[in-house]
Amino acid sequence: MKNNTNSESAAFGNPAEGKGSDSLASKYSPTEVEGKWYQYWLDNKLFSSQPDDRQPYTVVIPPPNVTGVLHMGHVLNETIQDILVRHARMEGKNACWVPGTDHASIATEAKVVNRLAEQGIKKADLSREEFLKHAWAWTEEHGGIILKQLRKLGCSCDWDRTAFTMDEVRSESVIKVFVDLYRKGLIYRGVRMVNWDPKALTALSDEEVIYKEEHTKLYYMKYYLAGEFTIKPEDEDGLNVIHKDARGYYAVVATTRPETIMGDVAMCINPNDPKNQWLKGKKVIVPVVGRIIPVIEDDYVDIEFGTGCLKVTPAHDVNDYMLGEKYNLEAIDIFNDDATLSERIAIAQQAALAENCVSNEYIIGLEKYVGIDRFVCRKQIAEDMTEAGLMEKIEDYDNKIGCSERTGVPIEPKLSMQWFLKMEHLANIALSPVMNDDIQFYPAKYKNTYRHWLENIKDWCISRQLWWGHRIPAWYLPAGGFVVAETEDEALQLAREQSGNAQLNLSDLRQDEDALDTWFSSWLWPISLFDGIRNPGNKELKYYYPTADLVTGPDIIFFWVARMIMAGYEYEGTMPFRHVYFTGIVRDKLGRKMSKSLGNSPDPLELIEKFGADGVRMGMMLSAPAGNDILFDESLCEQGRNFNNKIWNAFRLVKGWDINDDKQPESACLATQWFSAKLRLAAEELADDFSKYRLSEALMTVYKLFWDDFCSWYLEMVKPNYADGKAQPVDKATYEATLQFFEILLKMLHPFMPFITEELWQSIYDRKSGESIMRAELHMPSATDDDRRLCADFETVKEVVAAIRAVRSQKNIAPKEKLVLEKIGGQEEAFQCSIIKMANLSAINNVSEKSPASVSFLIGTTEYAVPLGNLIDLDAERKKLENELEHLQGFLASVEKKLSNERFVQNAPAAVVEMERKKQQDTLSKIAAIQETLSAFKG
């Protein structure tokens, strides 16, 4: 009888390339299979989850940007999540993977601005409402593309739960939290030095600034001494460095930003700097500007840097700002918001000149710089100063420049009115759960990074001068002051109370124009996805929260992970997730980060087209230990595809078998016993790998289990013989055992390769409509000592077979030619029939002495021989044996050295000493056997 399978599957109907006698193609073609089963999973709602009495397993997706497209980083991240989710589901847990997208305030707004610019529309010409209309249109057009792409990858997200950080639930949650934190006194508004992005025209948080190494110049400028002064005789002590030229005495200030001299309000020296003692108490003239400024003294100044003279520009440098606060200096903001020079520079110059009469030789009218860009100005002013004799010298200088993460332009430190969140309390509640492993990081090394950040945390600037995002729920009163409220109505009521003016109308109030930092919504994600902010303690939240695993990149540990932990403890009193799996960065095989500009990032959808989603997933996972960077190479996907093909062909083999009612042959019976033990051992290994989040090792475990143990050993052992020009039938017991093994293997493989495993699982047995491997539970009995013993014995069998094959290979004996094996002085071999089959022997003879013309080898302490008659090359055999003897004698020497060392025998554990003694005995008997053979050759 022909075995009976459900043969409606798409991949079956394509016999085109098959060269076998059955209807299955010899190559697996994933394309149709993948589409078909994904639709099946959707149709049968197999991804969806509702609270029930099973144990929950929750994962929230790190929401990709709503307008983003799938890149290799996503493939890595989402594959890992899908593996974890599918694995948990098959463990019988109620797995829920919640998908969604992020509005990505600044990134999306930048894209919209660019698109509008292409159409000739300037953002500045639009009202807020008009702009938002465009932004929503863009979101609807591009939003969700990435979610569709995740389906191609096989992601088993509960799509009915798809959320967006700016949908109603999430928006209301953000506003509610803002109001709550404001009322707790944790949110405040004030003028501070912030990171200003002059291109996006918004403030940024410290985390959104990245430092880039750049080759710049260091400009040494002359600040001539002003007014009445004397150079005291003791200043001419040789320690002071006094500059003087035809115009007079001057100090030299080194700066990388000569244009900021327009905001100079003081010069600062270190009071302990011997070379600048002569400047104490003096006044100097700011070159070009003509303003006369005092020389102040502060320890902050580094004596070693430049000339030890620091120009103080409180409006444009964080440290200068602090000096300004300390010494009560004026801050002159010289820039417009877009970092062009402000007309204030000219006004300030006029005021300064009106106050003090300064010689024209130090001055250039600043009007010429008004309105030009900061970098153009830098170049210009440096040239002008050189020409005017105000520049001492210019040197090359390597500098690190803070740049905007999004727009890439250098950040301008700027004083401005912003909203801040106090972080001290939140950092306090978030630190210990990670340090004491309530929340576990994989790999744990990121605990350090985490602690360092929390211990040095600064307040979080949460306002952005953007429109795309959650608008800050603060309303300003006509007479000054503001109220913070969840709704306009509430705001009005509060405003009336606060102002004592009951006649106040909504139109009298003006809502803050700013939006909130994107991460101010992301940090609520694990809670807000279950509506836990608006609806605290609801059933879903109670069931799904805390979530199980978070999978994300270490680059957003501060942006996101740390802040989710803060919000989790602040709003739920417990962790948002129990484990954090940090992925590495996907690089190309040369180790370069994948980027659009380098063009070294493959398109994941093209890869899927080429290798199948299962192949790509496997390629990604093969080299992806947690936290290590992935050096991605297409050949890994090829390996994945090859593995798919191997699985496919193993299936083809089994499906092609005819079955009869014969008794199971002993070799098949033994093979079945062994493989069943092997499966239990492998299942334990797999569970261990998963428990440690060692997913690439888990994959390698199943890979080897399937390819080596199942295909190369088990199937080869049970495979019926070929006779009379065709394969013989297989007995029913073997066939059924094989199908059961196959099913277990498919389940083990499923989390990694969902599509092919579903395809085959559906085909090895008849399945009911709606059934799926996704929901098939995998429970393996734990391995016994007998299993371990059996598998260990079988390892010896493998060694014997390999040794015989090696003999064939060396002697050029065709695999088809049957050989005889002699076992010297041993007992009956338990796996005798397995060895006969796998090594293609005609017999195994137990003999007391081996045939004279034979090749012998040792497995353990047992000697085997293959009689070869005149094929034998005695010289070569002798040489080989002599080499082995030498090796064994060296080994023996090292063992005996240990054993003759009294301190070893005394100090080492008894078991270790015992082991060494056994090694000594074994080696001695091996040596004896070889010597005997060698002397037989001589005789």
Q: Which of residues 462-521 bind RNA (CB under 7 A)?
A: none
* Alpha helices, H only, 812-848: 832-838
Query: If binding is defined by CB under 7 A, does position 276 make contact with RNA?
Result: no
For residue 890, give every residue at least 6 positions away whose Cβ sits within 8 Å of its Cβ, in sequence order, or none: none
Single residue of 226, 620, 715, 774 touching RNA by CB under 7 A: 715
Q: State which residue, 399 or 846, has the beta carbon closest to RNA.
A: 399
CA distances 437 to 155, 285, 786, Å, are 29, 59, 37
- Bridge partners, 312 (sequence order): 266
Single residue of 189, 904, 924, 934 touching RNA by CB under 7 A: 904
Query: If binding is defined by CB under 7 A, does position 275 make contact with RNA?
Result: no
CA torsion angle 96 435 555 565 (round to 10): 50
Which of the residues 729 through 758 are near RNA (CB under 7 A)?
none
* 528, 63 Cβ separation under 8 angstroms: no
Binding segment for RNA among 135-143, 498-506, 625-633, 842-850 (CB under 7 A)? 625-633
Q: How far is the CB of 916 from RNA (least distance, A)?
A: 8
* 519, 555 Cβ separation under 8 angstroms: no
Single residue of 631, 687, 872, 885 touching RNA by CB under 7 A: 631
Query: If binding is defined by CB under 7 A, does position 700 make contact with RNA?
Result: yes
Query: If binding is defined by CB under 7 A, does position 400 make contact with RNA?
Result: yes
Half-sphere exposure of 543 (CA within 13 A, CB side): 18
Which of the residues 637 through 696 are near RNA (CB under 7 A)?
639, 641-642, 644-646, 649-650, 652-653, 656
Query: If binding is defined by CB under 7 A, does position 385 make contact with RNA?
Result: no
CA–CA separation, 243 and 249 (whole Å): 6
Q: State which residue, 42 or 806, has the beta carbon closest to RNA.
A: 806
Both tokens assigned to 316: 């444009």
Q: State which residue, 456 or 597, has the beta carbon closest to RNA.
A: 456
Single residue of 191, 506, 806, 843 touching RNA by CB under 7 A: 806
Single residue of 30, 64, 198, 308 touching RNA by CB under 7 A: 308
Q: State which residue, 874 or 893, has the beta carbon closest to RNA.
A: 893
Binding mask 871-900 for RNA (x = CB under 7 A): ----------------xxxxxxxxx--x--
Single residue of 490, 508, 697, 884 touching RNA by CB under 7 A: 697
Which of the residues 808 through 837 are near RNA (CB under 7 A)?
808-810, 812, 814-816
Single residue of 180, 343, 512, 629 touching RNA by CB under 7 A: 629
Query: If binding is defined by CB under 7 A, does position 759 make contact with RNA?
Result: no
Sign of the CA dihedral 56, 167, 583, 437? negative
Single residue of 319, 416, 501, 772 touching RNA by CB under 7 A: 319
Please count the residues of this chain forming the interface with RNA, following the rule CB under 7 A: 100
Query: If binding is defined by CB under 7 A, does position 363 make contact with RNA?
Result: no
Q: How far is the CB of 813 from RNA (least distance, A)?
A: 9
According to DSSP, the β-strands at 630-632 and 586-588 are parallel
| Tokens 């009521």 belong to residue | 493
* 34, 612 Cβ separation under 8 angstroms: yes
Query: If binding is defined by CB under 7 A, does position 19 make contact with RNA?
Result: yes
Query: If binding is defined by CB under 7 A, does position 257 make contact with RNA?
Result: yes
Query: If binding is defined by CB under 7 A, does position 622 make contact with RNA?
Result: yes
Single residue of 908, 924, 927, 934 touching RNA by CB under 7 A: 908
Binding mask 413-452 for RNA (x = CB under 7 A): --------------------------------x--xx--x
Query: If binding is defined by CB under 7 A, does position 704 make contact with RNA?
Result: yes
For residue 561, give every residue at least 6 positions away whose Cβ sits within 8 Å of its Cβ, in sequence order, or none: 450, 550, 552, 580
Binding segment for RNA among 113-121, 311-319, 375-383, 430-438 (CB under 7 A)? 311-319
Query: If binding is defined by CB under 7 A, does position 126 make contact with RNA?
Result: no
Single residue of 424, 603, 708, 793 touching RNA by CB under 7 A: 708
Q: How far is the CB of 743 from RNA (least distance, A)?
A: 16
CA–CA separation, 518 and 107 (whole Å): 10
Query: If binding is defined by CB under 7 A, does position 712 make contact with RNA?
Result: yes
For residue 219, give every residue at least 6 positions away whose Cβ sits within 8 Å of its Cβ, in sequence order, or none: 254, 255, 256, 258, 382, 385, 391, 394
Burial class of residue 553 (count of CB atoms within 10 Å of its CB; 0-12, 13-18, 19+): middle
CA 475 to chain centre: 41
Both tokens assigned to 232: 């005291």
Query: If binding is defined by CB under 7 A, does position 336 make contact with RNA?
Result: no
Sign of the CA dihedral 749, 752, 756, 759? positive
Other Cβ atoms closer than 10 A to 938: 6
Which of the residues 516 through 545 are near RNA (CB under 7 A)?
none
CA–CA separation, 81 and 157 (whole Å): 10
Element (H, E) at 94: strand 94-98
